[in-house]
Structure 1
Amino acid sequence: MNEDVKARILAAAKKLFAEKGYSATSIRQICEEAGANVALVSYHFGGKEKLLDAVLRNFFPDEMRYAVMERLENPVDRLKFLIREFLIAMRTDPEVTRILMLEIMLGAERLKTILPHTLSFWQRLREEIRAATEQGLFDIDSLDHALVQTMAVMIYPLHSSGFQPLMESWPPDLETEIAQRTRFVLRGLGARTEDAQ
């Protein structure tokens, strides 16, 4: 029973954070949606911030998945691995993607203080761009600019449904999306590899 209530609270939080944003969602609203007592958020999660952390925790690769990536010798291959993992997670859990997008757009301090796994993912992405650039595989002017643009390409397109009338066939199937978006990122980074052709 406890696990059922915990799962309901988690699902309700994810839904409401994605619809309204973290700041505009109250614990009371989450518990009403979940059909749970307000005190159970503190009991199961330790408060609203830790509930958000729980919602996002499983979205990014865990240490086992990162270990797979670390076995890849080429930083471009490691970057492609990160893009693939992220796009699969986006398709699997679009609500979490929307939460991330809202938090990033709002410039929320939470991204720095309570979501270390979120920053860890983007830091790994940054390091692979830096490593590939140092090896002469990418041609970029600014690492910061390259990171921001790569993040935008990875996050935004899933939420472009408002522009659906402009599209002929969107979204593409997952494998096509991964291939196209990866190629777009690599070209934007000035990749000197066959993958960017």
Structure 2
Amino acid sequence: MTDFNEKQLEILQVAEKLFAEKGYDGTSVRDIAKIANINIAMISYYFGSKEKLLESLIVYRISDMRLQMENLYQQDLSPLEKIDGLIELYIKRINKNKGMYQIIHFEISSGKRIINCDSFNEMKKYNLAILKNMISEGQEKGLFRTDINIELIPTTIMGTYFHFQMNKPFFKDIMNLNTEEEFEAYINSELTRHIKQTIKALLTYEI
């Protein structure tokens, strides 16, 4: 389900905020209902359970990624320009929704509960297919190497970003990033440029 009504969206946004602040286990349906100013029965009516609410939140946050990637792929750009655009899209999207991504990956990796991640996994497979098409274009034109481990490209992009985020105090100190605005600006400029250079090296240079 990707078409949410106004009340459902309000519930999802409240749930996301509380999950990010208190953790999934530390947030109750009662907490969500109180902040959203609704009764618990309405959450049950719309989503069924807290786990189903989390699944819907995942779908809500990833539903438009497919369209953005399709639009990028269809643009009249060189293969490397498409890859650069893809990296910018990844970083901006993850940075905007970093709380949600942290919740998703913690819940999936912890294995503490069974969450139906089919929609999330299908979206990742679709995104990977578009990436493969972009790289294939470059390979056909002789621009990219033929022995690329494409499946690890998104891991390289997101792993670099999350390492930077998880070590924020350290990087703010050594790079003299004194405010949140400076830290965010660094992500959108220098960190993004570094990731682009890294992926370009993987695609085009002999390692």
AA in 2 matched with 1:37: N
Which residue of the partner structure matches residue 8 of structure 2? 6
Q: Say which SS state the counterpart of residue 84 (structure 1) adopts.
A: helix
Q: 1:165 aligns with which of 150, 173, 186?
A: 173
For structure 2, the residue ranges without an aligned partner over 5 or more in a row are 178-182
Q: Aligned AA for 2:98?
A: P
Letter in 2 for 1:180: H
| Equivalence for 1:70 | 73
Looking at structure 2, the residues matched to 138 and 129 of structure 1 have their Cα atoms a distance apart, in angstroms, of 13
Given that 2:73 and 2:82 are in contact with CA atoms closer than 8 Å, whether structure 1 keeps it comes out as: yes
Aligned residues, how many?
189
Deviation at 1:17, TM superposition (A): 2.2
Deviates more, 1:86-95 or 1:104-113: 104-113
Q: Is the 8 A contact 1:137 1:191 kept in 2?
A: yes
Q: Of residues 170, 185, 197 in structure 2, which corresponds to 1:183? A: 197
In 1, the alpha carbon distance for the partners of 2:74 and 2:192 equals: 21
Q: CA RMSD in A?
A: 3.6
Matches within 5 A, 1:1-197: 5-60=7-62, 61-72=64-75, 74-103=78-107, 105-106=109-110, 110=115, 112-116=117-121, 118-120=123-125, 122-124=127-129, 127=132, 131=136, 132=138, 137-138=144-145, 142-163=149-170, 164-169=172-177, 170-171=183-184, 172=186, 174-187=188-201, 189-192=202-205
Q: Which has the larger radius of gyration?
A: 2
CA-CA distance at 1:9 after TM superposition: 1.8
Structure 1 residues 146 and 160: CA distance shift in structure 2, 3 A: same
Cα distance in 2 for residues equivalent to 1:48 and 1:144: 32
- Aligned-pair distance for 1:24? 4.9
Residues 137-196 of structure 1: per-residue CA shift (max 9 Å, x gap): 147664444443333124443343243333322341624443333223333x2434xxxx
Task: Report the alpha carbon displacement of residue 56 of structure 1 after superposing the two structures with TM.
Answer: 3.1
Deviation at 1:14, TM superposition (A): 0.4
Label 1:7 to 1:30 Cα distance change in 2 as closer, same or farther (>3 A): same
Identity between Structure 1 and Structure 2 (%):
21
Greater alpha carbon shift after TM alignment, 176-185 vs 7-16: 176-185
Alignment check: 8 A CA contact 2:69 2:130 kept: no
CA 1:133/1:17 → structure 2, altered by over 3 Å: closer, same or farther? Answer: farther
Q: Distance in 2 between matches of 1:20 and 1:127?
A: 38
- TM-score when normalising by structure 1: 0.69
